[in-house]
Each structure stands twice: as structure tokens, then as C-alpha cells.
Amino acid sequence: MNREFLKDLLSTPSVSGYEEAIQQKALAYGKAFAHAQLTDPSGNAVSIVNPDAAHRVLLCGHIDEIGFIVTHIDDSGRLHLAKAGGVSPRLYIGSPVQVWHEGSKVNGIIATSSDLVKKEKIDVSDLLVDIGAASKEEAAAAVAVGDMVCADVPVRELMNDCFTCRALDDRTGAFVVLEAAREAAQQGASLGIYAATTTGEETTGRGAYHAAARLKPHCCIAVDVTWASDAPGTNPGDTGEVKLGGGPVLCMGSAVNKPMNALLKQVAEELDMKVQWEIAGGRTGTDGDTVNQTDEGIPMALVSIPLRYMHSSVEVGSWKDIEDCVRLLSTFLVRLSQELDKGFDFRPVRP
């Protein structure tokens, strides 16, 4: 597994709505194994294995991250912000950030004060970015309204093959989608594999809709992160017991196709691989929801990567979990190729 490529993705800012630079990297990586590639007006990047195959599976891993957009530069030269995605403003007080202006990085810090940290509720309007400018004019020479802002947190290795960085949600899933397609191609999968690094999941869901509506796949696997219940303040009783390092997470829920889930479980057993389960009583909160309701309805299963401290700048993941997700998904794609040739039926109820 190419860890350095994932680290490169993690070092590339892609606040939701500003994914162009990272998508160029996804396309460059996919070019080594894909038989064809395409993009679309939403900014998706799709690397395709076996584009002429009769059966098509869409793999979705969203490549956008939560962050901020500059809305105003005040007279003091500080930047005001709007949220892009599910940001918790309190977590960013006093944090270093990157402001990206026309492809160039400007360093900044979220201002802090004793009064601010004592506030019961912190809104995004309370956050001001200090880039060191002494006036509005000086700041406006370096940055502009509409620039993206993200946390300035590099990849750091932790104990027990864990690591931390911002935006593991869902760079890790986008990485798994590309790696699984590459490995499945090497293993001789015969179905059409459409490995899409999708845009806008954190804000609009536009990328998954554009991909599914245009490609019209026969089924979809969404790869995203899920809450690890071994983090402080979490409760396994909410959606299930999920541990970092415990393996890929499959989802039981009304949105998930049961025949696909059963085949994923069977493949994991044949690999002697432990999987974990989460419960989604309604929506899964992933690209899978969007794809599921696109066109005439697309059967969907969800493979998730355990994650601690989701939607913060210090998310923690496990290299082992990511490697196992790649192995499970690539082997599943080979098996699905065989089962589709034998008439695999996505219907859980048959006449």
C-alpha cells in the first residue's frame, strides 16, 4: 500500500468546493492503472478499469474536507469566516491555519482571548484569522474574500501503527477507492470499476450525484470514515462497538443492500479478516445515501474506516484498518465480477 501517496493527499488542502488541486493528484495516480479517466462539471475525478465491461460498479470516496471560506477582511487586517461543512468552531480557537490564495499558502492563526474561551457557545462569527497584517489594505494584498482556510496540521505517526492529521475524513476513503481499484485490476477483476474521488460531500453531496447520474452503475460501494467508539466521550450503544485497529466496518441499515452486504461478509470470512459492524437506522451520512437515490435507485453498500475525533483537526486513524479495507474491497471486486457473470441478484426479495 502506497502510504506516501496518502500522506501527499493529506498535505493537499481541499476544502469543500475547492478540490481542483487534489483531484489533479488523484488523476495522476490513477493514470498508472486506469484504462480510461473522466471528470465532470462537479469536479469529480474518475479512474476506470475495464470501461467496456457489461457490469459497472461505482466506488465513491469523497476527497473534500471541512474548513472555512474568507467572507470579509476588516480594518485591522483580520479575516472573517464562514463554515464549509460540519466545523465545530470551538475546536479551532488558537489553532494555526493555512489560507490559500491563488495557489499560494498564507500562514495564519485563529485569534484567541480569555473572554472567547469562556464563552458558552462559540460561533463561526467569533473566529478571526490573524495573518500578521497591520491593515485591511495589507491583508488584501495577500489574501481575498473567497479564499479557503484549513487547519495547519501535518501527518504525525503515533504508537501502534496509528497516525494523526486533519482531513482523514475522507482522504482515507478516497485513497482506499483508488488503491482497491488498482489492486483489483492487478488481480484480474473483469467488471467495470469506476473509482471516483468525489467532491462536495461535506456540503452539498453534488459529486456523488453527478457521478452516479452520469455513469449509471449497477451498484455502488461508498468508502467513508465512521466514529470509533473507543474514543473518550463515545458510547458503543449509539451505533455499535467500533475500535481503531479492529478492521473494516460494514453497515447494517435500511439504506444498505443486503445481498451486497452478505457478499462482503463472506469475502471477509474467506480472507480470515475481522470486520466490525455499525448500525444506521436511517441515512448513513455518506455519499452512499446520494447514490442510493439517484436515477432508478442504485444498490449500495458501505465500507467504513474507524476514526477517532471526527470533524476535528486532530483525527486519528490506523494504517492497519486502511490496509484491510483495501484488501477487502479489492478481493470483493474480483468476487463480484465472478458472481455477476453467474447472475448475481441485488434483490433481497424475489417473486
Which residues are tagged catalytic? Answer: 201
Closest by Cα among 173, 187, 193 to 36: 193
| Secondary structure of residue 308 in the 3-state scheme | strand
- Please count the CA atoms within 13 angstroms of the CA of 158 that sit on its side-chain side: 16
**Cell matching residue 311:** 470533524
Q: Which helix (H) or strand (E) holds 61?
A: strand 56-62
Q: Which helix (H) or strand (E) holds 22?
A: helix 20-30
Place of cell 466506488: 59
Closest by Cα among 282, 261, 180, 175 to 224: 175
Within 8 A by CB and 6+ apart from 296, the residues are: none
Q: What is the 3-state secondary structure (H, E, C) of 70-91?
A: EEEECCCCCEEEEEECCCCHHH
Closest by Cα among 203, 7, 13, 197 to 103: 13
Cross-strand bridge partners of residue 162: 318
Closest by Cα among 61, 143, 41 to 98: 143
Is there a contact between 272 and 208 (Cβ–Cβ < 8 Å)? no
